[in-house]
Amino acid sequence: MNCQSCNTEIDYRFRTNCVECDSAVDPVGPVPIETIPTSQPVAEVVKKRLNWSRRLVNLLHLLVSATSGMLFGAVVIYLLAAVFFMALFSFIDPNPNPSVSCGRGQAIGFLSLVAGAFLGTVGGTFYSAKRPLYQAK
């Protein structure tokens, strides 16, 4: 490219001023973004942390919520699955083979307990994480 004022050839990759007339090149690209100031100084953020005893209470609340959610979810899903499958299989096979019904019932019971426990644990953990007993202010 050439200089805008004296028409001297300049390699703009390495220079921003003309060697002959020392005129500056007008920037054509995007304007540099200024740094955005933080909303709070770091010292204020550190002061808002919880102390260890309140963190421990929140952790215990999380564990109790997850455990109770696990038990509640397992019982509810087990009872719903039992009622649903008893009604379903009474229409499909009114005179079942006892050994087949026992195996099918154990499989359905185990899977409903595991699935209910998982869903209850996730729900209890989510509840406790979104609603802690102590929050940083």
Query: Which range (26-30, 59-63, 113-117, 133-137) has the least confidence?
Result: 26-30
Bridge partners (DSSP) of residue 121 are none
pLDDT digits (tens, 9 = 90+) for 50-69: 788 888 999 999 999 999 99
Whether 120 is in a domain gets the answer: yes
Overall average pLDDT of the 85-99 stretch: 85
Q: What is the pTM of this model?
A: 0.58
Overall average pLDDT of the 106-130 stretch: 94
The packing angle between helices 98-130 and 52-92, to 10°, is 150
Bridge partners (DSSP) of residue 129 are none
The boundaries of the domain holding residue 4 are 1-27
Check if the beta carbon of residue 69 is closer than 8 Å to that of residue 116: no
Q: How confident is the model at residue 113 (pLDDT cuts 50, 70, 90)?
A: very high
**68 and 4: one domain?**
no
**17 and 70: one domain?**
no
Check if the beta carbon of residue 7 is closer than 8 Å to that of residue 21: no
CA 90/CA 101 separation, integer angstroms: 11
